[in-house]
Structure 1
Amino acid sequence: MSRTPVNRLVDGQSLDQPFRLADKQIRVNRQGGKYLLLKLADRTGTIVAMLWNADDSDYEKIDRGDYVHVLGRTQVHQGTLQIILTGIDPLTDKDEIDPADFDSFDAGAADAALGSIQNILGSLNNDSLRQLGEVFLRDESFLQQLRVASAAVTNHHAYPGGLLRHTADLMEMCQAIGPRYDRVDVDLLLMGAFLHDLGKIHEISPGGELSYTDRGQLVGHIVIGVQMLGTAIAKLEADTGQPFPSELRMQLEHLIVSHHGQLEFGSPRLPATIEAVLLHHVDNLDAKLTSYLSMIESDLTNNENWTNYQPSIGRKLWKKS
């Protein structure tokens, strides 16, 4: 059955096709009536959908991560395309599904990003850091998890392989910027860029709809990342019979725990080393630019110069390059 992907939907388009149910909420309007607020997805993106005059049975018959068949019509509301549904049901006929329509993992892009990371880690001059990188890169289970992990549930790099892309881009940026400053230990900075978000492998569920795991919600990727570093160091020490430099370990831990930059943004410590300050700002730059570019690409306002007002950043964005 032919279907229109999310990124090709237009205003006023009638829909009779499958989606994956990314999220579901049941809400009550001002008149006391219930409605469903949903997120529908495929490999090209996610779109909000609403079913008015719903009841609890409409909510309970569909589950997050499942395929659903929808009837409805698209419309633009405040510059954003959405779907007003007239019907939604769990999909029972799996022949209606082409897995290629919903698999957003790009194996070629993952191979390229992983190759860049391997080259950078393999080029480190610091023996301890290079050997630590080898511990991670020899772990096939870890590499398979890294290949498909997302860097976020929403906002930047929120797709399978997004963490790998973000990590590779950040390491390449640090490789270019770090040598410009005499006091920066570039090897330390690069290993910090590799390590900083690895905990997201276990923080965010890799299958179906992106969501936080129990461990992710209870512990968080920063603490998980420090734990992963400790496990890798213990493995390296067992393999070599030599202790890992304690100060170097402390510096790596600081890079992980401070990379969000501010206490209110989740960092247990503020960046206190030159490498940590640089890592935070480059990480923030990559995340912000990726998020802003996504806002521009998904904007549906008729204004060719400006996006619709973006509440999350408190401004419109200039669209013309």
Structure 2
Amino acid sequence: MPRTLVTELTDGQSLDQSFRLADKQIRVNRQGGKYLLLKLADRSGTIVAMMWNADDSDYEKIRRGGYVHCVGRTQVHQGALQVILTAIDDLAETEVDPSDFDQFDAGAADQALATLRDMIENLHNVYLRGLGKAFLSDESFISKLRLGTAAVSNHHAYPGGLLRHTVDLMEVCQFLGPRYPGVDTELLMFGAFLHDLGKIEEISASGELSYTDRGQLVGHIVIGVQMLGDAIAAFEEDADEDFPNDLRLQLEHLIVSHHGQLEFGSPRLPATLEAIALHHIDNLDAKITSFTSLIESDLTNNENWTNYHPSIGRKLWKKQ
């Protein structure tokens, strides 16, 4: 029996099918009864599910990151579609079709990677071009970059999302940089390439998207600076010359300041024109992508406006 994708589910639809269990929690309601709060996933996206009157055995028999068979019904609650379950059981991997749950688009990743290689190879700055080749000649790095996610939630939160986000930013930098004479466009583009690379070590993109131990303890900004140092060492060994220290400092600053605010995790505020531009371009891409997702997933009957989203403090205009 064919599955219905998460993105194709509608209000009031009966469900009797498999999902990947992206997350699970057991909670207690005001009356003292226990219930399951779950996140179900397939290759198209995720949906929240709940099962009332649950007990510890219901929680323990299902595996986070594993597969489950669910029986229940969809309903709209506060403008969002969710699933109310009446039964849930663990499934073995042999009982599902992996293609129903694989979010990675190999073709899109290959195309994005080809675009990235082309932009790096066409840099005029010999040091940036050589440094880029040091990254791109590392097969272990490439395999992680192809699968990497830009986040656990919010924007580009899927395998391959980091590469898509990186290439999109580089293309925007390539377009905007020449509009501002004081901005070094190639430096800005390379900052876009570097800024989130640490996420390939910060977030595990296989199975359930989750933070690694290194990600929790160190974070992608510090990891990114470490990766830059390793790539510079590889460049110097291959080229048999020193990498310019001033250029290294500029690149390190682009990584450590790209969040734009100390309270948002940047160790330093943007202090160069390239760093200021990178922060705002990065924020623009993240916001447009996440807001687009909110519009596309909205289930209200209003043709013009989405439901009110407390996380952003507003409704969004849906008309195209």
Question: What TM-score do you get using the length of structure 1 for normalisation?
Answer: 0.98
Match of 1:241 in 2: 240
Deviations 1:273-292 (A, max 9, x none): 00000000000000000000
Match of 2:148 in 1: 149
Match of 2:120 in 1: 121
Match of 2:47 in 1: 47
Match of 1:219 in 2: 218
**3-state SS of 2:249 partner:** helix
* Counterparts of 1:214 and 1:53, CA distance in 2: 34
Q: CA deviation at 1:93?
A: 7.2
* Counterparts of 1:62 and 1:266, CA distance in 2: 35
Q: Sequence identity, in percent?
A: 75
Contact 2:67 2:93 (C-alpha < 8 Å) held by counterparts = no
Contact 2:158 2:205 (C-alpha < 8 Å) held by counterparts = no
Structure-to-structure mapping, 1:174-193, within 5 angstroms: 174-193=173-192
Deviations 1:140-178 (A, max 9, x none): 111111001100000000001000000000000000000
Deviations 1:187-228 (A, max 9, x none): 111110000000000000021010101100110000000000
Aligned length: 320
Which sections of structure 2, spanning at least 5 residues, go unmatched? none
* Counterparts of 1:135 and 1:93, CA distance in 2: 38
* Counterparts of 2:278 and 2:63, CA distance in 1: 39
**3-state SS of 2:206 partner:** coil
Match of 2:67 in 1: 67
* Counterparts of 1:253 and 1:28, CA distance in 2: 47
* Counterparts of 2:107 and 2:26, CA distance in 1: 39
Match of 2:19 in 1: 19
1:230 partner letter: G
* Counterparts of 1:150 and 1:14, CA distance in 2: 32
* Counterparts of 1:203 and 1:101, CA distance in 2: 26
User: Does the C-alpha gap of structure 1 residues 93 and 99 become closer, same or farther in structure 2, counting only changes over 3 Å?
Assistant: closer
Match of 2:8 in 1: 8
**3-state SS of 1:4 partner:** coil
Match of 1:84 in 2: 84
* Counterparts of 2:230 and 2:92, CA distance in 1: 44
* Counterparts of 1:203 and 1:89, CA distance in 2: 31
Q: CA deviation at 1:92?
A: 3.5
Q: CA deviation at 1:311?
A: 1.1
Match of 2:138 in 1: 139
2:204 partner letter: S
* Counterparts of 1:244 and 1:231, CA distance in 2: 12
Q: CA deviation at 1:94?
A: 2.3
**3-state SS of 1:46 partner:** strand
* Counterparts of 2:109 and 2:174, CA distance in 1: 20
Match of 1:38 in 2: 38
* Counterparts of 1:60 and 1:236, CA distance in 2: 50
* Counterparts of 1:17 and 1:184, CA distance in 2: 54
Q: CA deviation at 1:116?
A: 1.2
Question: What TM-score do you get using the length of structure 2 for normalisation?
Answer: 0.99
* Counterparts of 1:215 and 1:88, CA distance in 2: 33
* Counterparts of 1:172 and 1:93, CA distance in 2: 40
* 1:278 partnered with 2:259: no
* Counterparts of 2:185 and 2:10, CA distance in 1: 47
Deviations 1:72-127 (A, max 9, x none): 000000110000000111014723x1111111111111111111111111111111
Q: CA deviation at 1:250?
A: 0.5
* Counterparts of 1:3 and 1:241, CA distance in 2: 57
Deviates more, 1:236-245 or 1:38-47: 236-245
Structure-to-structure mapping, 1:194-213, within 5 angstroms: 194-213=193-212
* Counterparts of 1:57 and 1:205, CA distance in 2: 28
**3-state SS of 1:89 partner:** strand
Match of 1:108 in 2: 107
Contact 2:152 2:203 (C-alpha < 8 Å) held by counterparts = yes
The 4+ residue runs of structure 1 with deviation greater than 6 A are none
**3-state SS of 1:83 partner:** strand
Contact 2:202 2:211 (C-alpha < 8 Å) held by counterparts = yes
User: Does the C-alpha gap of structure 1 residues 159 and 93 become closer, same or farther in structure 2, counting only changes over 3 Å?
Assistant: closer
**3-state SS of 2:204 partner:** coil
Match of 1:263 in 2: 262
